Amino acid sequence: MKELQRKLSRKEKGSKNWEKAEIGVAKLHHKIANSRKNFHFQVAHQLCDQGEMIFVEDIDFRVSAKGFLGKSMLDGGFGQFRTILKWVCWKRDKFFAQVDHKYSSQICPNCGTHTGKKPLSQRQHICPECNYQTTRDHAAAEVLLQRGLEATQEVRMDVAERKLPSNGDLSGSVFDWLDKCRSRNTQERS
Ligand SMILES: [Zn+2]
């Protein structure tokens, strides 16, 4: 890409050769976007091969892109990956839900103790309470999994108690559905 852009900058703007070089740059952009999308689909299918439920954290990547990781967050196409993953889950009949990400890297997945903020350089989770040790990302993933399972458990109990929803439709986010339940309950009470 750098080479092509260098060539483009050397051409006289508006000339035939400049036009050719510009088309070359555009083609490569297209190719990069396509191979990234293919890669995202491959990974999404690999994840679906491994389990029945997938929980992802509800981070707003547009906000992160403004932060310290900067534009590389957008370059990586994290938002696109989440969208593709959700679609592949739907296609393959796997459960997909987004989970609250707050403090997921500050809680011990083994005993629930708040272990405080880890600097990004600290790659290990070592719990001062129960001595549970694992990598930082694995610990956070375990916390997210527990949150996801707890939320689905709540929904299951709701379904069992009130026989809702009768059509068994749990598509979309568990949380959307929980929100609907809660607002309906509030309305009934008032
Ligand atoms: Zn612990």
As a three-state string, the secondary structure of 157-183 is HHHHHHCCCCCCCCCCCHHHHHHHHHH
- Ligand 1 geometric centre to CA of 120 (Å): 19
Q: Report how far apart, in Å, the C-alpha atoms of 61 and of each of 67, 86, 186 are.
A: 10, 16, 32
Q: What is the per-residue pLDDT for 37?
A: 93
Q: Which of 15-19, 116-120, 173-177 has the lowest mean pLDDT?
A: 173-177
Asked if residue 146 is part of any domain, the answer here is: yes
Structural domain span for residue 129: 100-190
Strand partners, 55: 97
Strand partners, 134: 125
- Ligand 1 geometric centre to CA of 137 (Å): 15
Q: What is the per-residue pLDDT for 175?
A: 52
- Ligand 1 geometric centre to CA of 18 (Å): 61
pTM of the entire predicted model:
0.69
- Ligand 1 geometric centre to CA of 19 (Å): 61
Strand partners, 67: none
CA-atom Rg of the chain in angstroms: 23
The closest alpha carbon to 104, from 141, 76, 72, 50, belongs to 141
- Ligand 1 geometric centre to CA of 129 (Å): 5
Q: Which of 76-80, 88-92, 104-108 has the lowest mean pLDDT?
A: 76-80
pLDDT of 15 strictly over 90: yes
pLDDT of 110 strictly over 70: yes
Q: What is the per-residue pLDDT for 186?
A: 53
Q: Which of 6-10, 72-76, 131-135 has the lowest mean pLDDT?
A: 72-76
Buried b (16+ CB within 10 A) or exposed e, 114-132: ebeebeeeeeebebeeeeb
Q: What is the pLDDT of residues 19-65, one digit of tens each?
A: 999 999 999 999 999 999 999 999 999 999 998 899 998 877 666 66
Asked if residue 117 is part of any domain, the answer here is: yes
- Ligand 1 geometric centre to CA of 114 (Å): 8
Asked if residue 94 is part of any domain, the answer here is: no
Look-up of token digits 């979309």: 172
Q: What is the pLDDT of residues 99-108, one digit of tens each?
A: 998 889 899 9
- Ligand 1 geometric centre to CA of 115 (Å): 8
Average pLDDT over residues 85-89: 94
pLDDT of 4 strictly over 70: yes
Asked if residue 131 is part of any domain, the answer here is: yes
Contacts 24+ apart (CB under 8 A), 182-188: none
Of residues 64 and 1, more confidence is placed in 1
Q: How confident is the model at residue 76 (pLDDT cuts 50, 70, 90)?
A: low
Q: How confident is the model at residue 74 (pLDDT cuts 50, 70, 90)?
A: low
- Ligand 1 geometric centre to CA of 153 (Å): 23
Buried b (16+ CB within 10 A) or exposed e, 156-174: eebbeeeeeeeeeebeebb
Give every CB contact of residue 145 below 8 A, 6+ residues apart in sequence: 55
For the chain, the domain total comes to: 1
Asked if residue 18 is part of any domain, the answer here is: no
Q: Which of 116-130, 139-153, 170-184 has the lowest mean pLDDT?
A: 170-184
Alpha-carbon dihedral angle through residues 33, 39, 42, 46, given to the nearest 10 degrees: -140
- Ligand 1 geometric centre to CA of 69 (Å): 29
Distance CA 178, CA 185 (A): 10
